[in-house]
Structure 1
Amino acid sequence: MKAVIWLASVLCVLTGTVFGANQANTETCVVPAHGNGEDDSPAIKAAFESCGSNGHIIFAENNTYSIQQVLQLHNLSNVQIDLRGTLLNISIALELSGDHITVDGHNTGVIDGQGQVWYDLALGVGGLFGRPIPFSLRNARNSIARNFAIRQSGKWNFVIIESRNITVDNIKLTAHSDDYQANPGNLGNTDGFDTLYSDDVRISNSYVDAGDDCVSFKPGSTNIHVKNLTCVQTAGIAVGSLGQYQGQFDLLKHSRNGAYIKTYNGKSVYYPPQGGGNGTGLVRNVRKSIK
């Protein structure tokens, strides 16, 4: 028997599907989309409030969701997120934190950062304050992100920060300015994957064509494993930047497949620093393997 309830325009269904070892029932929330440009953020928040713990959240295929608010969706636990539709955002589309989070795009899901306005505004200033990030795992543990695309990110594409035991698989990241040929510098800081203060991260079978670092192992990145990654028109794989946070000692270890090391000096600008830093740091145990 299924009990159906409506909450803030979100369809929630209680089922017997098991997603966790200690879970008897799973509540499923299907997020509706206005489809006319109206803000869908309230319905998305309601879905995560209802189904963010031991639940299943579905962004339906062939639906376009307009996100006009920053969605910081925290304290999630044992949740399956089916990102089958398209998210249009003007800021961070999703910042997820918690334990045992799975985001699966089923090869149809897209996060569209609508970044052209930011490329035009930045005009080569990679550190322009306020440029948005479309997807972030922050303080996440034992979590998976797979089978979706991010395009036209306003800044960094996919950020993993203060997280542990993260699997990233089959993610496609692309960012191209309409006037890239005339002004190729305006795509600065559109990194593909960035890790910061995170441990045990595995990135595999993915594609980056975004104009800046393909992967950047920023301070506090340990045990980061990258394989089967295609980097097109990128700055390569970066170890750093180091010395970006004044008064902090930066350490990166057990990194591999690195290409170059970045350092910061001079006066810090904004927070997190968009330039300068004047800190200190250390890089060790960097290996390059060729097969």
Structure 2
Amino acid sequence: MTSFNLASLALAILALALGIAARDNPAQEPRDPALNRPVINVGPYTTGKPFPASPPRDRNRVCRVTGSGSMDRDDSQAILEAMHQCNDGGGVILEGKITVAKALDLTFLRRIDVAITGTIKFTDDVAYWAANSFKYPFQDSCSFWKWGGEDVNIFGHGVGEMDGSGQGCACSTRLAYVELSVLCGPTSGTRHHSDRLKTNPPNSVKWFNLYHNSTDVIVSDLHLHASSSIPDVEVKNTDGFDTLRSSNIIVQNSVVQNTDDCVSFKPNTSAVVIQNLACTGSHGISVGSLGQYHRQVDVVEDLYVYNTSMADASDGARLKVWPDRVPGSDAVDAGGGRGRVRNVTYHEFRSRGCDSAITVDQCYGQKNQTLCRAHPSRVTMEDVLFRDFTGTTSKRYDPRVGQLVCSAPEVCLDFRSQNINVRNPSGREPLWICEGFDTSRMSIKCHQRHQVY
């Protein structure tokens, strides 16, 4: 089976307001210890914005779903009924081996705690999920579960698992961009909390988590794992944490092993802190891609990425933006979008065998560099800081250790670097490619491609 950790992702999406649980009155804890909220300390950084309080639940309103333990029996209806019954002030415990064979819309949740102490396994019926999953227009994505509402806490106590049965999806082209779960917050003040969830055996489908139209989300202590047990089947599109039209989010203290972005800040994301993450095999912690859709406006700003370990990845810190659409093209998803990236900091970043420690690409999706320069991106990037980078790159591009290429100086402003100490395997002088922007505030020694190739 392809080992994807989609379930953990879904659980992560539901995580919010972690620190609030520690302030609850212990005398009012639910009768079942499974519903005792974990104590989570957010830090060292926050978004600077408050998170809503989460009052204690009614300790006498507890709903329990015990899995059948059989893949022939669908437990999704029992989950839906429990969520309705204990919604608005109660708690739900999901225990045992639970099978989910139908798409679940849980966007009605309000003031509820959900404890996952068992294993939730999704069926591998690709035909069903292709036809019945929840569809999203962005990159033709879809999801198995939709979570949403207000004041929702989800936690796994270190034992809760989700298994997305991803091998079948990896072997099929019918589900290119699928999330096990999407967190949908219909209004501001939405609060979700997810903690200590994992998948073992890990088994994600495609994207792990997508935070969509969500605010006030805290995610902590998740383990996401995507891999394939079939050597000839490549696992693709296994993003760990994705944000889209969302703000005031903290993701921390988590481990991601995958084959795509560890984190991806997609269009219209703001006020996000990513801290204390260990990523392996990924495509980096990425801003974007942005500007893909013609005439749409993408804004990403106020991001702080702190204390990241990135191993065996294609990229470390990464910004990827589409250029303008080539005249005469009628494609709506091949660039030409407008927008801005502003106030982005990557701080304390450790590379271990990454192909490129830092990548800036304003020609994303366009291999013809001449066309890219002739039709530069309409997404501006400004106030970007790379600070305290250490470690080594892989031998793939040795001696090059990073590449920062903008399509035009007027759309790349105020790029800075401080204390960058990244080495290549050969021990030669680290080669940094920097083009299309003012490098006067970069602490690295920049070269242009024509000077070295």
TM-score (normalizing by structure 2): 0.54
Q: Are 1:87 and 1:93, in contact at CA under 8 Å, matched by a contact in 2?
A: no
Q: 2:89 — aligned with what?
A: 54
Q: CA deviation at 1:187?
A: 1.9
Report 1:128-277 matches (<5 A): 129=175, 131-139=177-185, 141-150=190-199, 151-180=202-231, 182-183=232-233, 186-257=234-305, 259-264=317-322, 267-268=331-332, 276=334
Instruction: Name which of 68, 81, 101 aligns with 2:101.
Output: 68
- Counterpart secondary structure, 1:69: coil
Q: CA deviation at 1:210?
A: 1.0
> Taking structure 1 as reference, are residues 131 and 241 closer, same or farther at Cα in structure 2, changes over 3 Å only?
closer
Structure 2 unpaired stretches of 5+: 1-27, 31-36, 38-53, 124-128, 130-142, 306-315, 326-330, 349-387, 389-453
Q: CA deviation at 1:256?
A: 2.9
- Counterpart secondary structure, 2:179: coil
Q: 1:29 — aligned with what?
A: 63
Q: CA deviation at 1:142?
A: 1.9
Q: Percent identity?
A: 30
1:133-167, CA deviations, whole angstroms, 9 ceiling, x for partnerless residues? Answer: 11221117122011101432111001111111110
Structure number with bigger Rg: 2
- Counterpart secondary structure, 2:227: coil
Structure with more helix by fraction = 2
Instruction: Name which of 139, 146, 157 aligns with 1:106.
Output: 157
1:186-226, CA deviations, whole angstroms, 9 ceiling, x for partnerless residues? Answer: 32211000011111100110000011100001111111101
Q: Are 2:301 and 2:344, in contact at CA under 8 Å, matched by a contact in 1?
A: yes
Q: Are 2:294 and 2:334, in contact at CA under 8 Å, matched by a contact in 1?
A: no
Q: Are 1:110 and 1:148, in contact at CA under 8 Å, matched by a contact in 2?
A: yes
Give the Cα–Cα distance (whole angstroms) in 2 for the partners of residues 23 and 212 of structure 1.
38
Q: 1:43 — aligned with what?
A: 78
Give the Cα–Cα distance (whole angstroms) in 1 for the partners of residues 165 and 58 of structure 2.
40
2:141 maps to 1:83: no
- Counterpart secondary structure, 1:49: helix
Give the Cα–Cα distance (whole angstroms) in 2 for the partners of residues 59 and 134 of structure 1.
17
> Taking structure 1 as reference, are residues 45 and 24 closer, same or farther at Cα in structure 2, changes over 3 Å only?
closer
Q: What is the letter of the counterpart of residue 228 of structure 2?
A: S
Structure 1 unpaired stretches of 5+: 1-15, 123-127, 269-274
Q: CA deviation at 1:25?
A: 5.9
Q: What is the letter of the counterpart of residue 74 of structure 1?
A: T
Give the Cα–Cα distance (whole angstroms) in 1 for the partners of residues 177 and 261 of structure 2.
16
Q: CA deviation at 1:103?
A: 0.4
1:224-254, CA deviations, whole angstroms, 9 ceiling, x for partnerless residues? Answer: 1011100011111010110234432101111
1:54-102, CA deviations, whole angstroms, 9 ceiling, x for partnerless residues? Answer: 1100012xx1111011111022111010011111114545321111100
Q: Are 2:251 and 2:274, in contact at CA under 8 Å, matched by a contact in 1?
A: yes
> Taking structure 1 as reference, are residues 25 and 256 closer, same or farther at Cα in structure 2, changes over 3 Å only?
closer
Give the Cα–Cα distance (whole angstroms) in 2 for the partners of residues 157 and 132 of structure 1.
8
Give the Cα–Cα distance (whole angstroms) in 2 for the partners of residues 48 and 111 of structure 1.
18
Give the Cα–Cα distance (whole angstroms) in 1 for the partners of residues 337 and 262 of structure 2.
24
Q: Are 2:176 and 2:237, in contact at CA under 8 Å, matched by a contact in 1?
A: no
Q: Are 2:286 and 2:319, in contact at CA under 8 Å, matched by a contact in 1?
A: yes
Q: What is the letter of the counterpart of residue 215 of structure 2?
A: R
> Taking structure 1 as reference, are residues 87 and 218 closer, same or farther at Cα in structure 2, changes over 3 Å only?
same
> Taking structure 1 as reference, are residues 21 and 178 closer, same or farther at Cα in structure 2, changes over 3 Å only?
closer
Q: What is the letter of the counterpart of residue 282 of structure 1?
A: R
Q: Are 2:145 and 2:181, in contact at CA under 8 Å, matched by a contact in 1?
A: yes
Give the Cα–Cα distance (whole angstroms) in 2 for the partners of residues 56 and 218 of structure 1.
32
